[in-house]
Structure formats: C-alpha cells, structure tokens
C-alpha cells in the first residue's frame, strides 16, 4: 500500500493582505496534482495553510489597530480571505495548518530545544543595520540607497543577542543532495543555489534562528524574550501537520517523507538548503522533491500588492468560471518558468481551447446524437478501419503520454497532449461528414451511430484526463455524454468502448461560450481600473518639505489679489489657459496657467485670485506669462486635483498678501 500514498504541499501563505492570482497559481497546480493522484488511486494528503508569525504581520496589525491574532484571523477566515479563495478556486485540500495553532507552536518549541540540546543551535550575536522605527535588522544588500527599505529612514549598526543554526555543518551533505540527486527541480535552479549560497565566499553561513526585536512569534521556551525565526517555524509545518512532535495528528508514518513540496522560485533557498539541513540535524528523512515553479508576471514584473499590479481571481472567475481560470493557469505557462499574465492571453486561451476545440467537439457530438437519434445511439456498429483507426489509437494511448508529463509536473505538456486528441476528433467529424451520412439514414444510420460513438469515447477519455484541471466542467461533460461512474475512472481511460453501445446522450448547456475579445478587453480594463482606484487612498496630500527658507527670501515673493478680466484656451494646447488680469496697476497682466483640465475659461471670469507677480516673465506656446496663479493641489483616489485659490471679491485688485 505504501507506494499508493502521495503527500504534496503548497507553501503556507503570509496572511498579510488579500491573495492574488499569483498565489492561486501554485495552489491550483498543487490541487491539479493532488486530484490527478487521487484519480490514479493514490491515498493523497494535500496540505496547505498560513504562515502567521513574524515582524511583518506584527507591524500590519499595529497599523490596523488590532492584535496580530485578530489580524490574521480576519485575513484567513473573513469573506474574500484565504479559506474563501481556496473554496472559490475549488481547491480540495486535505489539511489546513495555521502556524498559530497550539499544536504547531508546542511542536516548534520542542524542535528548537532538541536542536539546541544537540548543539546545532547555539547562542551568538546578530549584527546588521538596524532601523529603530521599524525595529528591524537589515543586511547591506537589503538596504534601499543605504536606508531602511520599509520606511526609508536612516539605519545604524547594531548587534543583538540571537540563536544560530549551524547550517555550515551540513554544507557538504546539502551540496551533495542538490548536485547528485533529483531533490531540487527544475534542475536549472540547482547551480544557482550551490554557487550562490554554498560555494560562495565564506561558504554556507550559519542561520540566525531567533529574534528579540519583536514578539509575534513562537517563544523560545527556555529563553524568554527570544522568538523563533519565522522560516524555522514555517518550514516545519510540513511535518507538524502530520503529527510530528504533537498529538493532534498521527499521519507521520503514513505520509512522511513528502513526495513533493511545490513552491515559488524565490523561496527555493529556504526549501532546498535550510529545510534539508534542519531535517539532517534531527536525523529525519528528507522530502523526496522540492519543485520551484516560476512566477506569474504582470507587465514583466512580479505581481505584488505593494506595486498595486495584482489580478483579482474573484473577478476573473466570476466572469469566465473557475474552471476556465484554473485551466488557463496551467495550460498557458510552463510550470517551471515565469509566465506573463494578460487579459488577452486569458481570453484567447478560453476561446481557442475551450470554446473552439473542446466546447465545439462536445456540443457538435451531443447535438448530432440528439438530432439524428433522439439522443440514444443504435446498438449496431459499423467500423471503417481507414477512418477510425487513427483517432482510436490516439485516444487509447493518450493516457500514457499524459501520465508521463503529469509525473514530471509538466501540466502544460499534459494538456497539450489532450488537446491534440481533441483537435484530431474535430478533424474526424469533418472527415466523416455526419451531416452527409444523415441524408440517407437507412443506408448510413449504423455508420453514423458508430462515428458518433467513437467521438463520445474520445470525449470521455479526454474528459477523464481533464478532471484534475476542470473538475466541475468534467462532471457536466460526463453527464452530457452519458458516462456513468465506471466510465469516468482512470482505469477506463485507456480502453475504447466503455460507454454502452446504445449510450444515451443529453445535449446540455454550452460549457464554454466564446468571448468577444475586443469588447471584453475594454470591459475588463474598465473594471480593473475602477478597482485599482477604489483601492487607492481617498485623499493624499504631499508631505511638507523639511527644507527651510529664510524669512527675507520669503518676503521677496510678491503675492497679489488679481481679478480675472478675461480667460481663453490657448490654441493647440490641452493644458493652458490665458488669463487677462487686473492687478491694480492699471495695465493688464497676462498669465498662462496649465489648469485647463480643471476649469472651463468662462467660469473664471470675474473671480478674485492670487498671483505671484514678481517672477521673471516666461514664454509658453509662444506667449508671455507674467507670473503664476496660486492653486491648492492634492490627490484623490489616484487622481490629481487642483483648486485655484479664490479670495473674497471684496478684496481690491492689487492688494498685497502678506
Ligand atoms: N510564507 C512563505 C512560505 C512559507 S513555506 C514554509 C511565503 N508566503 S507568500 O504568501 O509570500 O507566498 C506564497 C507562495 O506564493 C510562494 O510560493 C510564492 O512564490 C507564491 N507567489 C506569490 N506571488 C506569485 C506570483 N506572482 N506568481 C507565482 N507565484 C507567486 O513565501
């Protein structure tokens, strides 16, 4: 039975904000893999969860004015939170761990102590650049222009007492693991790890595994004031969730070592170097594989909340259905490499593969079965080896080709194999021209029934293999083609002729309607822009400048009340308005101002404004501007706003402002 069990994990997510489509990518891939293994008859454990400790969360909770526990509880369980997203994406995990769960916290304390007792964790001091405001240590390379990367303030050299893990002791074993086994995939990531972190100058450094500068973490029970470093705490989730060092679960023997940890490429270092080293320290078996997938990029850059360039999975699945979205993620990008997300690509994939190829095949086949046979095919069959053989051979051998790709986590290739078969089946329709056969049902009815039966069988096999990617739609297709439970199994996926000869077909809803690309892109852009704006702060005001101006210099600026005698748009300029102003001198003053976006010229005539009148004249669009009008500026929902300073009309033109 042992070889029929499969343990797969996703990274546990930081519940520090809303998850986006990039986060969903890894979890959907893991779900597809878990469903595939279940389909193959494995006893599967699919673990996911949340990584809830650390300074970042503590800081965010403080900002929000709640305790860190309240903060994470909200993000994990609230509508639109982590659990909700997995439900939306139809992620069928078997266990969900939160690192604040009591059993995990206790287990981490035991693990820390055991490593300490063994001498693999020792007390030392942590040196680095410290930001007092953020209470954070940074390394030189993390600084932004020599300043704190979080708040931009000055940092200074500081030292704090801390515990260290003796990673250096395991350098040789980890190097050997990486270079001489298939532990880390894709292989392209191996040399980067070995060269940058093990065979680098100074070799593999011991890792600081405790902190005293904040409190939101697992306390080191034998040294109050220290909390366990978040990565040591987080990595062991893969074992505590099975019952390691706790009584809550008892699946360790059954499921450890894990078959594969799916993770994003930026956390390969922790999983491929420190994680095995921790396990070596405790003499525990190592996971069989770590797979570092690529990133989903947006406009060539990583999606991140701080950049504001995230894509909302709720919006997309509401518009196209969860299955289409799941399918798109795994069909379009090779799992090991980065992929550039775009709305256009998403719609194109849905239209080409789902609407044109698969959707058409299913709807044409079921529609013809209804039209020509009232849904029930005749029992008698009449093969035509010349026309039938290629499709049949392709369909029964599909499972093997698919399996080979799935076992290597090459979802894109596995789907490519399925769609080659779908396309072949569509071609088979054209080759057999059922509509021509139908013209003489007496002569060709049996052959027509056979053609449709072959199509149904091909659809059935493809649909079985699509279950991991689009579970819900597959259920609907099975219902339409009359496939009962026995005709939906892995074992039945390499046999042709499983559906009863007189199978009953029900043409159902169109599963993947075609999308009007141009219209949809426009609509999506509008919605996404609206959402982006809604997420922006209501009002932003430029911070006050710290630079001082001396009083005498300030007094040289001559501010005057001016009355608008005339105001016109400047020809060929979208921005400029030309003001003719009474400044009290008896001679008109002309000022040009770039405010056409905010004001119609006629609404300003007669108003009393404020101008600075002793600036040197400037030419704009060939016309002279003798001064500058004063306005108030701020940003509202990302949009620049401007209001001319208008004063009481009682104030005479030319009055000095001081
Ligand atoms: N908490 C750690 C993992 C600890 S595992 C013991 C963490 N969390 S995270 O929330 O920041 O990221 C979770 C996963 O989402 C990572 O594997 C990360 O690579 C993945 N992704 C986040 N944005 C992504 C994309 N834009 N594209 C693909 N995956 C991305 O790291």
Q: What is the share, in percent, of the chain residues with pLDDT greater than 70?
A: 98
Task: Name 308's Cβ contacts closer than 8 Å, sequence gap at least 6.
Answer: 532, 535, 536
From atom 15 of ligand 1, which residue's Cα is the shortest distance away?
A: 23
Each residue's pLDDT tens digit, 230-263:
999 999 999 999 999 999 999 999 999 999 999 9
Q: Are the C-beta atoms of 167 and 277 separated by less than 8 Å? A: yes
Contact 417, 398 (CB under 8 A): yes
List phi, psi (to 5°) of 109. -65, -40
Angle between helices 360-373 and 471-481 (to 10 degrees): 20
Q: What is the pLDDT of residue 1?
A: 44
Question: In this model, does residue 135 exceed pLDDT 80?
Answer: no
Element (H, E) at 121: strand 121-131
Q: What is the DSSP letter of 350?
A: I
For residue 392 the two structure tokens come to 């049949």
Burial class (CB in 10 A: 0-12, 13-18, 19+), 147: middle
- Cα separation, 515 vs 521, in Å, equals 10
* Ligand 1 contact via 12 beta carbon (within 6 Å): yes
Mutate to test the pocket of ligand 1, among 10, 25, 26 (most ligand atoms within 8 A of CB): 26
Residues 322 and 92: their CA atoms lie apart, in Å, by: 13
Which neighbouring-strand residues pair with 161?
A: 125
Select the more confidently predicted residue: 307 or 382: 382
Cβ(263) – ligand 1 distance below 6 Å: yes
Q: pLDDT by residue (tens digit) across 328-365?
A: 999 999 999 999 999 999 999 999 999 999 999 999 99
Q: Is 97 in the pocket of ligand 1 (CB under 6 A)?
A: no
- Check pocket membership of 266 for ligand 1, CB cut-off 6 A: yes
| pTM, entire model | 0.84
Backbone phi, psi, residue 292, to 5°:
-95, 100
CA 376/CA 383 separation, integer angstroms: 18
Ligand 1 centroid to residue 653 C-alpha, Å: 63
The two structure tokens encoding residue 474: 């597959």
pLDDT at site 305:
59
Q: What's the pLDDT tens digit per position in 460-496?
A: 999 999 999 999 999 999 999 999 999 999 999 999 9
Q: For the segment 389-415, what is each residue's pLDDT rounded down to a tens digit?
A: 999 999 999 999 999 999 999 999 999
Strand, coil or helix: 329: helix
CB 366 within 8 A of CB 481: yes
Question: Parallel, antiparallel, or unpaired: how do β-strands 618-620 and 623-625 relate?
Answer: antiparallel
Q: Alpha-carbon distance 193 to 167, whole Å?
A: 14
């Amino acid at each position: 039975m042992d070889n029929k069990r499969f343990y797969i994990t996703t990274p546990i997510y930081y519940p520090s904000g809303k998850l986006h489509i990039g986060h969903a990518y890894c979890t959907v891939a893991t779900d597809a893999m878990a469903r595939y293994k279940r389909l193959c008859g494995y006893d599967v454990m699919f673990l996911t969860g949340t990584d809830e400790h650390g300074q970042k969360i503590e800081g965010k909770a403080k900002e929000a004015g709640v305790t860190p526990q309240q903060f994470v509880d909200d993000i994990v369980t609230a509508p639109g939170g982590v659990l909700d997203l997995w439900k939306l994406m139809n992620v069928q995990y078997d266990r969900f761990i939160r690192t604040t769960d009591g059993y995990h916290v206790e287990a981490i304390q035991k693990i820390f102590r055991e490593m300490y007792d063994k001498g693999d964790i020792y007390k030392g001091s942590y040196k680095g650049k410290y930001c007092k405001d953020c209470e954070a240590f940074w390394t030189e390379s993390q600084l932004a222009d020599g300043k704190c990367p979080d708040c931009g303030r000055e940092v200074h050299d500081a030292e704090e007492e801390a515990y260290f893990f003796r990673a250096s002791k395991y350098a040789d074993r980890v190097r050997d693991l990486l270079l001489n086994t298939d532990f880390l995939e894709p292989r392209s990531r191996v040399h980067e790890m070995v060269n940058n972190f093990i065979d680098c100058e100074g070799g593999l450094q011991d890792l600081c595994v405790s902190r005293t500068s904040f409190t939101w973490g697992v306390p080191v029970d034998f040294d109050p004031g220290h909390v366990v470093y978040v990565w040591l705490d987080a990595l062991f989730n893969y074992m505590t969730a099975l019952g390691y060092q706790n009584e809550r679960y008892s699946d360790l023997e059954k499921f450890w070592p894990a078959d594969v940890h799916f993770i994003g490429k930026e956390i390969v270092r922790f999983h491929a170097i420190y994680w095995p080293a921790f396990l070596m320290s405790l003499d525990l078996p190592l996971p069989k594989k770590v797979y570092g997938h690529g990133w989903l990029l947006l406009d060539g850059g990583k999606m991140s909340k701080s950049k504001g360039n995230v894509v909302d999975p709720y919006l997309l699945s509401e518009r196209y259905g969860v299955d289409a979205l799941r399918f798109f993620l795994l069909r379009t990008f090779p799992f090991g490499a980065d992929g550039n997300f775009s709305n256009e690509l998403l719609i194109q994939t849905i239209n080409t593969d789902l609407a044109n190829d698969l959707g058409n095949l299913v709807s044409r086949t079921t529609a013809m079965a209804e039209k020509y046979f009232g849904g029930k095919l005749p029992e008698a069959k009449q093969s035509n080896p010349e026309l039938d053989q290629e499709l049949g051979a392709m369909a029964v051998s599909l499972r093997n080709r698919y399996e080979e790709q799935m076992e290597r986590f090459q979802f894109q290739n596995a789907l490519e194999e399925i769609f080659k078969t779908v396309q072949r089946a569509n071609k088979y329709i054209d080759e057999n021209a059922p509509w021509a056969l139908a013209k003489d049902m007496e002569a060709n009815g049996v052959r027509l029934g056979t053609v449709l039966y072959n199509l149904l069988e091909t659809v059935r096999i493809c649909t079985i293999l699509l279950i991991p990617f689009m579970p819900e739609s597959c259920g609907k297709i099975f219902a339409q083609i009359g496939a009962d439970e026995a005709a939906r199994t892995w074992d039945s996926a390499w046999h042709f002729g499983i559906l009863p000869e007189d199978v009953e077909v029900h043409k159902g809803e169109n599963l993947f309607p075609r999308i009007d690309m141009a219209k949809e892109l426009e609509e999506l852009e509008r919605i996404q822009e609206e959402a982006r704006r809604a997420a922006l702060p209501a009002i932003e005001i430029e911070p006050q400048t710290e630079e001082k101006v001396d009083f005498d210099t300030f007094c040289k600026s001559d501010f005057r009340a001016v009355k608008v005698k005339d105001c016109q748009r400047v020809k060929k300029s979208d921005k400029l308005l030309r003001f003719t102003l009474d400044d009290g001198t008896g001679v008109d003053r002309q000022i040009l101002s770039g405010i056409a976006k905010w004001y119609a010229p006629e609404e300003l005539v007669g108003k009393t404004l404020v101008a600075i009148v002793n600036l040197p004249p400037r030419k704009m669009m060939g016309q002279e501007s003798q001064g500058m009008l004063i306005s108030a500026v701020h940003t509202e929902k990302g949009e620049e706003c401007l209001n001319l300073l208008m004063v009481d009309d009682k104030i005479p033109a030319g009055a000095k402002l001081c």
